[in-house]
Structure 1
Amino acid sequence: MSRPTSRLLYLLSLLQMRRDWPGSVLAERLDVTPRTVRRDVERLREMGYRITAMKGPDGGYRLDAGAELPPMLFDDEQAVALVVALRAASASGIGIDEPAARALASIRHVLPTRLRHRVDTIDVSTIPATGSSPPPAVDPEVLVAVSAATHRREVLRFAYASDTADRPARRVEPHHVVTASGRWYLLAWDLNEDDWRIYRLDRMAPRTPTGPQFAPRDVPGSNPGTYVAARFKGSGHADQWPCVGEATLALPPEQVIPFAGDGVVTAVGHDKCRLRAGSWSWTALATWFGRFDAEITDVAPEELAHAFTTLADRFRRARALHRAE
């Protein structure tokens, strides 16, 4: 690696890989003398990189964070990953579409031709989940404020969209920020309710200053993502539906699979299938099976069969009331 420019880029990539590098090891990696390493380090400093020289028998160097963003170095895989992430920014639920577009333009401008051709073929379109509207975008400043309080373990004060004007700011111990299906949530211990609560970031307005530091509590089940998913399903701690049942549908599997969600479809001949699914209640699960508009047989367990009876009676009463009108 005799060319100065190539050697400089390689030196920078080495410094980005780990925190501390002995000078002799860098010289060996670059196949140069320690004196040349010192000169190359000075050149990187002139470009804006903060590189600290470490004292000791062998000496060494450390790449530190600087006050300004210096030129960055990415390999091919990193460059492609950045482009994919930036193109999909609109699906993140954070209001960064315009900054992401500017960052993408900046990166594309400096890409070598071979990479530019590759990333130009990446075209990402996002659509909301079936039957739902796009989630409201989260203000990036809200995400930063909530994440900062979570990282520093400081009590967070905020107003919530459903609060009345005269309600005092809520006080919580923020534990984890969780994202799912384009929405962003805060899992926190509510100091007023003395219980775990989940808040949507797009409905939060953080207040300053934050409160005192707190000792983190153990999240039920230890995994915050699993706990939040479980709460969304109406379960206590495990990421599973509290009500799970199955039935045979008079439809071929290929007509059921696209709409089965997290249900499990098993073929029963060419014109029937067995569907196992879950929901937060038995009546909700029975209604979900009914959405396939097909004959339903062999229902299990008994709770699900009873829910079909409950719905049938409810629908008959609704029909009778309609005729009476």
Structure 2
Amino acid sequence: MAGSSARMLQLLSLLQTHRFWSGGELAERLEVSERTLRRDVDRLRELGYPVDAVRGVAGGYQLQAGASLPPLLLEDDEAVAIAVGLRGAAGGMVEGIAETSVRALGKLVQVMPPRLRRQVDALQSYSVPVSFSGGPSVDASALTTLAMACRDDERLRFDYTPREGETMRRHVEPHRLVTRGRRWYLVAYDLTRHDWRSFRVDRIADPERTGARFRQRELPAPHAGDAASFVQAAIRSIPQQHDVAVLVRASADAVTEVVRRWGDVDPLDDASCRLRMQVDDLGWPLMVLAAVGAPFEVESPPELVEEVRRVGALFGGGMS
């Protein structure tokens, strides 16, 4: 029984990872016969998981949204509360969990019945969050659509407005979503331009899943398997508004741990280093310096010096 229960959990995990699985592929992954697989699928249905089956040579299984929420030990209002919270986290309200929140939100929405989805949309539409990031707003529903298309290897169409130029319809093979500071980027293969591109998600409108599946391509060298480095390289190739240089009284390792790949850290000695970043938004280096929590001296640009003084005055003056 223990082995059967563990196998059913593995089956459920596989069904939530891919939109459609052939019967033979699932049976091979679980190392069981297709007859045993059919029995396991029936057990999942008995538990309330809406698994559709397609018969024939090209047959397989697909997890669908059902009339009621599968047993997750959650009441309906609890599921709605979780989905709303995940949408807020996906928008960057909680630093460091945005990507995880999108993945979790995609799984929850996939099995959530329409009546609960409408409650989530209503709560989101008529709530006003307090924004502290200063970054562009991103629609959580669009993020979920993009994430699920990446997960399911499904082609996308959307309207995109570049930094300079007119809005155009794009047709892409999505690869990964990447966060940088308070911004989201979609790494995808552009089928019109026959090349890899990174798209700022706040500039994407009306993303639509086409239903057409594809086999994932490899990112070009030296970024194979590393979508974040691809985004960083693309950002560095675009002239940024501010070239930041800051002398930080902390070890290079301590600063690198915070800034990661989004800046360059040059060690000066064991207790100091120089941080360099190219940014459009001065709020990003300010967040990095606040997270490091060490004394620093801004070398450039002058605008960052003024921003530090402005923010310092706000905190120094207290709150009323």
TM-score bracket for the superposition, by shorter chain length:
0.3 to 0.5
Report the structure number with the largest CA radius of gyration. 1
Between 1 and 2, higher relative CO (CA 8 Å, sep ≥ 6) is seen in 2
Provide TM-score, normalisation by structure 1: 0.41
Provide TM-score, normalisation by structure 2: 0.42
